[in-house]
Amino acid sequence: MEPGNYLGTLRRHWRLLVVCAALSVAAGWLLSPAGGSVVGGGGARWESTLSVVPAPGMEDTVQLSLVENTAGTDQVLRATAERVDGGPASQSRVTELAAVVSIEADLEDGVAVLTAAASSRGDAEELVSAYTEATLAEFHAEQRERRQAQLTRLQEQSEQLRARIGEVSGELVSALGEARRAQLEAELAGLEQTSQAVTAELSDTELALDDPSLSVFGGITTAPVDGNALTAPSSRPVRAALGGALGLALGVVAALMLDRLDTRVRSRAQAEAAFGLPVIGEIPVVPRRLRRSRTPVVVARPAAPAAEAYRSLRASVVLTGPPALSARPGTRAARTPSGAIVERSPGPAPVVLVMSGRSADGRTVTVANLAAALAETGRSVLVLDCDFRNPQAHQALGAAPGPGMSELLDADRTLEMDEVIRSTSVERVRLITAGAPTGYPAALLVNAGEVLARARRHADIVLVDSSPLLQANDAYDLVQHADAVLLVARSGNLSPEQAGRVRELLARTGVLVCGVALTASNGTARGGSSSAAAGATAPGGAVAGAAAPVGGEAGERRGTVPPAAGPAARGPLARGPVASAWLGTSGQPLDETPMFGSPRFETRVTPVRPRNGDGQPGGASRGRGAAEDGKRS
C-alpha cells in the first residue's frame, strides 16, 4: 500500500482516531494527581525502609502475616495519603500510592519491613513514616476489635457458668440418695474450676485491651534508587499528552485493521478489477452545501475540482461512446416548447443510460452534472428520469415536478413529448420528470422503446437516469433501448461480489459500456479523472478506446481505435459474437494488449453501426441479434 492510500484510510476513519485520542487524554488526565503530591511525584529516586516487630509480650499472639495483609488494604493506603497530603484522598491517589509502598514480613526473624519510594529523600522518609503509622493504627484497631469480641464472649461464658453453678447448688441441697449427691458434687466442682479459668482469662483480656500490638524497631533507612529506571511522570498535562499520543497510535492501528477487513470497492484499481471495466472518471467528494443545491456543481462552481472531473468524464463518454456522441452540434434548428430555438445535430440522438448497482451511488447527481458538462459544448441535452422508485432528477436540475415518464409510458394516455419536457436551471438542458408515482413501474417499461425513439428527436443527446440495477429490474429493461451505458459506483458502497453481479448482468446485454464513473473518490487530482479515455467495452465485448480530443471540446470526435484486448484480459464483457464489428479496416484484429494497460494507438476507421427506422441501434450492434441475423442469412 502506498503512503497516499494510508492517508486515505486514516481520512475515512478520522472519527475513530478522534474518539481513541479523546478517551486516552481523558484517562491520562483523570488518573493523574491534581497537585504536586509526594506520593510517587516526579518518579521514584529515593527509597526509605522502616521495620516493625511485635510489642514485648505479644510475640506469641501477634501474627506478622496478618500485619502484611493489613498494610495492603485500601484503608491503610487512604490513611497514608491523607496524612501526607493533609486532606481527603481520591481513589486515583490510593492507586498511585499502592505502586510506591510495600511491606515484607520475615516470619523467621519476627520482623516486618515497610518500604516507600519518592522523588526526594525527605519525601521518601515522610511517606514511609506515614505508611508505618497508618499500618500500626489500623492493625491496633483490628486487634482491639478482636479482643473486644473475645472479651464479650468470655463475659457471656462466665455468666452462664455462674448461673449453672447456682442451679447445681440448689439441686445438691434437695438431692436424695448418695449416688445423686455424689454426681452433683462432681459437676459442681468442674463448673467452679472452669469458672475460675474463664475469670482469669477475662481479667487478662481486659488488661490487654488497649495494649499496643506492634512497635517500631530501629529508625528509617534511606538509600537512592538506580537513576536509570524509567518512571511515569506525575504532571497532569504531560500524562494527558502521552495518553493522547498512545490513543492516537492505537486508533491508527485499529483504522488500518478495519481497512484490511473492509473488502468494499474503494479505489480505481479495485473498481476496474471488480467490474472488469475501465474507470473513465473519478469524481471527488462534493461539499454538502453544493450537494443540497438545485444547480449542478458544473454550473454553480465551474472551477471546482468536482466540476473539472465531470468535464473529464464528459470527454471520456464522448470519446468512448457511440459515434453519434462526437457529432458536431448546431447543424439543424429546433424550437422548444417555450419558443426558444436550439441547434440540433442531424439524425436521431444517441441514448446514454446511466445506471448504478445500488442506491446512494451518486447516479442522479452524475446525470445532472454530465448533462451540464455536455451542454457547455453547445449540445442540447434531454434528461429522462426513469427512476420511478426514488425520482430526484428534478431536484438536481432545479425543475418543478409534474407529469412525465409515467404518463408517456402509460398506453392508456396520449401525450405529446413537448407537453412534458421541462426547462431546468441549466441552459440547453431539459428534463422529463418521472411523473406520477406508480405501484408497478416494470409494467410501464413495455413502451420504453417507443418513448425513447420519440425522445431522440428532441435533443442532441438523451441521458436516462434509472433505478439501481441490483435493487430493481427497470435498468435492465431499459438497456436494450440504449446506445451506451455509463456505470456509476460510489467509493465504498459496493462489495466485489455485488460489482461482479453487475458485470455479469451487463455482459448478457451486449450493449456498449463506456466505463465506470467512480464517485466520492479520493484519488482524483484537480482537472479530472486519472483514467479518462482509458477504454470502453464495445458491443459484443471488444474494447473501444479513445484518443485525446482534437480541436477543443466542441470538436470531440472518435479519432482512433486501440488494439483489442486479449482473451485473458477482456473478462466476461469481452466475449461476444459481434467482436468483428470493431476490427480495423483491414478486417484483421489488432494486436492484443491488456484492457487497462497503455495500448499502442493506431489510426483506424471504426465502422458506424446501422440504425433502424426509429433511430435505435440495429443489425450487428446487438450480440444475440447479430447471431440471429447470421442464422437467417
Statement to judge: residues 22 and 78 lie in one domain: no
Statement to judge: residues 387 and 483 lie in one domain: yes
Cα distance from N-terminal residue to C-terminal residue, the chain:
55
Statement to judge: residues 321 and 464 lie in one domain: yes
Residue found by looking up cell 495518553 in the block:
243
> Secondary structure of 49-109 in the HEC alphabet?
EEEEEECCCCCCCCCHHHHHHHHCCHHHHHHHHHHHHCCCCCHHHHHHHHCCEEEEEECCC
d(CA 236, CA 269): 47
According to the model, what pLDDT value does residue 232 have? 58
Number of C-beta neighbours around residue 229 at 10 A: 10
Structural domain includes residue 198:
yes
According to the model, what pLDDT value does residue 307 have? 94
Instruction: Enumerate residues 6+ apart whose C-beta is below 8 A from 388.
Output: 405, 406, 434, 435, 437, 438, 441, 444, 467, 474
According to the model, what pLDDT value does residue 552 have? 36
According to the model, what pLDDT value does residue 523 have? 63
| CA dist list (Å): 233 to 41, 96, 116 | 7, 12, 17
The rounded average pLDDT for each run of 10 residues, N- to C-terminus, in the chain (633 residues) is 70 86 86 55 74 81 83 89 87 87 87 89 90 88 82 87 87 82 86 88 74 82 69 71 88 85 86 94 85 86 93 94 76 52 66 93 94 94 93 92 90 83 94 89 85 92 94 86 94 91 90 93 50 38 35 35 32 33 31 34 36 43 37 37
**What's the CATH code of the domain at 315?**
3.40.50.300
Statement to judge: residues 306 and 426 lie in one domain: yes
The domain boundary residue, chosen from 500, 519, 538? 519
Q: How many domains does the chain have?
A: 3
Statement to judge: residues 394 and 505 lie in one domain: yes
Statement to judge: residues 99 and 214 lie in one domain: yes
Structural domain includes residue 318:
yes
Structural domain includes residue 542:
no
Which is it for strands 341-344 and 381-385: parallel, antiparallel or unpaired?
Answer: unpaired
Structural domain includes residue 537:
no
Instruction: Enumerate residues 6+ apart whose C-beta is below 8 A from 380.
Output: 329, 334, 342, 343, 344, 428, 429, 430, 459, 460, 461
- Residue ranges making up the domain that contains 459: 268-327+347-519
Q: pTM higher than 0.85 for the full model?
A: no
Statement to judge: residues 276 and 251 lie in one domain: no
Statement to judge: residues 320 and 369 lie in one domain: yes
> Secondary structure of 133-145 in the HEC alphabet?
HHHHHHHHHHHHH
According to the model, what pLDDT value does residue 154 have? 85
The domain boundary residue, chosen from 489, 519, 549? 519
d(CA 320, CA 314): 10
Number of C-beta neighbours around residue 600 at 10 A: 10
Query: Which of 424, 486, 426, 422 is closest to 458 using CA atoms?
Result: 422
DSSP string, 142-187: HHHHHHHHHHHHHHHHHHHHHHHHHHHHHHHHH--SHHHHHHHHHH
Torsion of CA 224, 230, 231, 235, to 10 degrees: 120
- Give Rg (Cα) of the chain: 46
Structural domain includes residue 508:
yes
Running DSSP on this structure, what letter comes out for residue 387?
A: -
The answer to whether residues 70 and 143 touch, using CB atoms and an 8 Å cutoff, is: no
Residue 268 C-alpha cell reads as 480505481
Structural domain includes residue 103:
yes
Angle, helix 268-275 to helix 496-509, in steps of 10 degrees: 50
The answer to whether residues 127 and 40 touch, using CB atoms and an 8 Å cutoff, is: no
The answer to whether residues 510 and 623 touch, using CB atoms and an 8 Å cutoff, is: yes
Structural domain includes residue 165:
yes
Statement to judge: residues 61 and 128 lie in one domain: yes
Structural domain includes residue 124:
yes
The domain boundary residue, chosen from 494, 519, 544? 519
Statement to judge: residues 211 and 69 lie in one domain: yes
Burial 187-217 (b: 16+ CB within 10 A, else e): bbeebeeebeebeeebeebeebeeeebbeee
According to the model, what pLDDT value does residue 339 have? 55
Statement to judge: residues 256 and 212 lie in one domain: no
Backbone angles phi, psi at 287, to 5 degrees: -55, 145
Statement to judge: residues 394 and 465 lie in one domain: yes
